[in-house]
A and B are shown apart, each in its own frame.
Chain A
C-alpha cells in the first residue's frame, strides 16, 4: 500500500479535501490550526494522511512539529501540496521547500471556485512547467476537479517523477554546487537529496548537523568561508538569505502564472466585527444570541414536549409491564433505570443540535480568528494569548476538541494555562443540569442562565490573573495569526459537523448514560446483602454517604447529589440521569432549595470535567503532576466558589 500525505499552509482546505476523498467527517473550520492531529484514511486503496497545516518546514508549535517530523521521517510515496489558489505566492514558498525532499509532489490548486470573484486567473500549465509537478485545479468544498485529481494521483504514484529544484541566485548556487560535489555529502541520511543537505549545511541547521558525522577539517573550513562570504555579500544571516531566495522563486513563479485584477472594494462585515467600539459588544451579543437561540428559544419548547413524551412512555410501559406480571426488577431496570436516565438526557438533543449548528456556522465563517484578534489585548493581561479565545468558544460545545485546539498556542505556559481554564466554560453536556435546575427552581428568572456563563468566564479570568501574578518571568511571546477570508459557511461542512456532534451526544446517551443508569438503578435498589430494599439503605446510599459529608458545607450533603457528581465524571449528562433515577426530576424540591441548587450548579460548572476531557487535558499537559494540579485547582476553585455563592444567596434571600 502506498502512502499519500496532504501538506499545505494552514486553512488551505486540506481537511476538506481529505473528507471529500475519503468520505469521513474530520474537523473543518475557517481559521488556521484546526487540525492538530494526524488523521489517516483510505482512497483508492492508498493510505492518505491529513496533517496540520504549516507555513514552512521550520515549525513553531507542537502540531507543526508533527507535520515536519512526518514529512521528513516517514517518506510518503506522494506529497499532495494543497495550495490556496487565492494565496499563491505564500503557498509556493512552502512548495520550494517540499520540492527538495526528494518525494514526488503534486500541486492541488484548491479554492478554484473563489478565483473568479477574487479577480485571479492562474495558468496551471505554466505552473506545472515551472515547478515540474503535475498541477490540478480543484475545489474541495464544491467537489470540482476531484476526478482529475484522483487520476493524477494514480499517475504520479506510478511514475514517481521528482519535482524540479528551485534555483537560487548564481552567487549562492556556486557554493551549493561545490558542496554537493564533496564526498562528505555521500554520508547524508538515506532518502535525502544532496541539494537539500547542502542548503542545510550552509544554514547550519542544528537538527541536520547533529545527524551527521563531523566533517573533515578542509571541508569545514570551506563551509565556514562560504557562510562568511554569503553574510558579507547579502548583509544578512544565512537562514534569512535562504528564506529570501525561496520567496524570490515563489514571487517569480507567481508572477509568471497568475494574473490579478484589482477587485472592487465592497462593504464588509469586518468593519463592524473589528471596529473600535463595536467589536467586543458584538462578540458578546453573538455569543449571547447563540445561547438564547439554542437554550432559551428552542429548548423552551422542545424540552417540555420531550419530557412529557418520555413521562407518557414510562407510565404506559410500566402499566403494561404490571399487567403482564413482569418482575419488578426487570420493569424497574427498563422504566426507572433506562427510560428515566436516557430519556432525561435525550430531552436536550434539540437544543444541543441548535447549539452545535450555530457553533459550526461560527467556526466556518471566518469570525473565530477575528475574535482572537480583538481579544488578544485582554487575554494577554491575563497571561493568555489571543489564540486562547478559540478553545474557550469551542468549549461551549465540548471541552475535548477545545482542549485539543489549544495546541496551536506556541508558548508553553500560555498553552497549559489555556488547557486548565478551558473546562471552566460550561460545555453542552453540562447544559442539561443547568436547564433542569433553572426551570425547577427559578422559573421565569431568565437572567440566571447568562450569570452562570459569566461565572465560568470569571473563573477563567481569576485563574489567569493569579497565574500571571505568580509567574516570575512575565515573558511575552509572539502572536502571529493569519486572518482568513470571511465566507458564507459551506452548507456541507456545517451539516457534517453538526450531525457528527449531535450523533455523538445521542450515542453517549445510548452507551455511557444507559449503562450508568442501569448500574445506578441496581445499586440504589439493593443492599449489600442483595436484598431489595428502600433506596435509603441501598448500596448506593451507603457509598454516597462516604463522600457526602465533604459536600455538606455546600448545602447538598445528601447521597443522591454526591453520587450524581461521581457519575458525572464518566459524562456530565450522567448527573441529570442519575438525579432522575435516584430522586426523580419531579421531586427535586424536597432535596434542593434555591440556594443549594445554585451552589450545586456552581460546583458542577467549575469542578473537574468528564473523563474524556481529563484525558484530553493530560495529553496536552503531558505530565501527571500538571494534570493533578489542574484537576485539584478546578475542583478546589469549584468548592470555594460554591461556598461563596451559597453564603451570598443565603444572605441576600
Chain B
C-alpha cells in the first residue's frame, strides 16, 4: 500500500522535474543573447539583430 503511494509520488516527481527543467532551459535560452532566440514578435530580437536592423 505504502510502496504504491511512494512510488507514485516518485514517478510524479521525476516527471515534474523533467518537465520543469525543460521549461526552465527553454526559458533561459530564449532570453540568451543568441540569435536562435529571435522570434517574429516585436522586441524579441537579440541585441545583435536589433543592431543590424534585421529583426522587425
Interface residues of A (CB under 8 A from B): 37-40, 62-63, 65-66, 69-70, 321, 324-327, 330-331, 333-334, 338, 400, 404, 507, 510-512, 514-515, 518, 612, 614-616, 618-620, 622-623
Contacts and interface: CB of A to CB of B under 8 A. Distances in A.
Contacts of A62: 52, 54
Contact of B14 (A327, A334, A618): A334
Nearest to B44: A615
Contacts, number: 86
Given A66-B51, A618-B40, A510 B22 contact: yes
Contact of A37 (B18, B39, B49): B49
A515 B40 CA distance: 22
B35 A324 contact: no
Given A333-B15, A619-B38, A326 B7 contact: yes
A518 B12 CA distance: 13
Nearest to A330: B11
A37 B48 contact: yes
Interface in B12-31: 12, 14-15, 18-19, 21-23, 25-26, 29
Contacts of B22: 510-512, 514-515
A128 B22 CA distance: 52
Contacts of A507: 25
Given A515-B19, A615-B38, A331 B25 contact: no
Given A37-B49, A38-B51, A618-B40, A514 B11 contact: no
Given A511-B25, A620-B54, A622-B54, A39 B48 contact: yes
A331 B11 contact: yes
A62 B39 CA distance: 20
Closest 3 CB pairs of A and B: A324-B7, A325-B4, A37-B48
19 contacts: A39-B33, A63-B52, A65-B52, A66-B51, A325-B7, A326-B8, A326-B11, A330-B15, A333-B15, A338-B18, A512-B26, A515-B22, A518-B15, A614-B40, A615-B38, A616-B38, A619-B38, A619-B49, A620-B54
Interface of B: 3-4, 7-8, 11-12, 14-15, 18-19, 21-23, 25-26, 29, 33, 35-36, 38-40, 47-49, 51-52, 54-56
B7 A612 contact: no
A515 B7 contact: no
B18 A321 contact: no
A404 B35 contact: yes
Nearest to B27: A511
Nearest to A338: B18
A37 B53 CA distance: 11
The main secondary structure of chain B at its interface with chain A is helix
A515 B35 contact: no
A70 B36 CA distance: 22
Contacts of A622: 54, 56
B14 to A, nearest CB: 7
A38 B52 CA distance: 8
Nearest to A612: B36
Given A38-B52, A40-B47, A612-B36, A511 B26 contact: yes
Contacts of A515: 19, 22-23, 26
A338 B38 contact: no
A628 to B, nearest CB: 11
A335 to B, nearest CB: 10
A511 B30 CA distance: 12
Contacts of B33: 39-40
Contacts of A333: 15
B4 A326 contact: yes
Given A39-B33, A507-B25, A518-B19, 8 more contacts: A62-B52, A62-B54, A330-B12, A333-B15, A338-B15, A338-B18, A511-B22, A623-B56
Contact of B3 (A63, A324, A404): A324
Contacts of B18: 338, 514
Contacts of B29: 511
Contacts of B38: 615-616, 619
Contacts of B23: 511, 515
Contacts of A616: 35, 38
Contacts of A618: 40
Contacts of B7: 321, 324-326
A308 B48 CA distance: 44
A566 to B, nearest CB: 18
Contacts of A619: 35, 38, 49, 54-55
A71 to B, nearest CB: 12
Nearest to B24: A511
A455 to B, nearest CB: 27
A148 B20 CA distance: 45
Contacts of B26: 511-512, 515
B41 to A, nearest CB: 9
A70 B50 CA distance: 12
B9 to A, nearest CB: 9
